[in-house]
Structure 1
Amino acid sequence: MSDNDAFMEDYGDSLNDAGDPYEPKTTRNAAEALDASLQAPNANDFSNARLIEELENRNSRVSGFRDQDVVTLQKILDAEFELEKESIIKHQREKREQAAKQAGLQRKRMMLERQLREEISEIGKDQRIEFWLHLVSFVFVRT
């Protein structure tokens, strides 16, 4: 068994569970925190009037027994919540991806601007290069 095989046998599972190494840990933690903070409304906390109103709004039959109505409404609320939760998480993920993309473009723009300043500075230091660049630009402008 090679050293690499021994290493992978000992630590391979933890390496595979690490997630995407290029995704910042704060982003993963924020997504996990968002998942944990989202909870469906608790039907048991509703008043009788609101419980009946919520069931009727969802075209569900009211049994007249609070416990049964709470269970019925809670199932409906949980199903609705799961649909909304996926949408919210997807929206948040898209916002994070867009922000990361914008940050990458900003870093690239700053790098190119710095490179341009350095090149202009270097051209200004050497009179011969400056002369040839002016000559070449003059020739291309005239043609």
Structure 2
Amino acid sequence: MGKVGERVPGAREMRPYATDFVARVTARTRLPLDYSVASLRVVDFLIDGLRKGGADHERAHETLLGLGAYVGEVLVRRAGAVWVDLDVHQRAYFAQPVGVRMPDGRVWNPLGKVRNSFDTGGPEESLRTFYLTLHGRARRAVA
């Protein structure tokens, strides 16, 4: 997801990375980034704004990485996922070093999903819809 040489945080670092991102973003604005499923609509709105504002990947990189970490953390907190460092085959497939493993064992790529949403836009790339249609979620919200 990053430029050559840029390091994406590992699985153990993703929760603090997402928390720091939310603190920085909400310090300047009143965005309701509260790790709820509903807050994923805000993420959709932010990504759409970046794209329509003409941001390129280089300028949007840090924000997209932060939003990807946030989406992954929503999956951790609400769907029972855990952050995982991806193996060599998963890294090649997802083009990311980290992802989340769902309670049923499936691995998903929130960082790549955010990037795809930025690249293509449209309702089919909605992060809220991604969550709501995601296979392998815990049946009940996890705190």
TM-score (normalised: structure 1): 0.24
Larger Rg: 1
Q: Structure with the greater relative contact order (CA < 8 A, sep ≥ 6): 1 or 2? A: 2
Q: Which has the higher helix share?
A: 1
Q: Which has the higher strand share?
A: 2
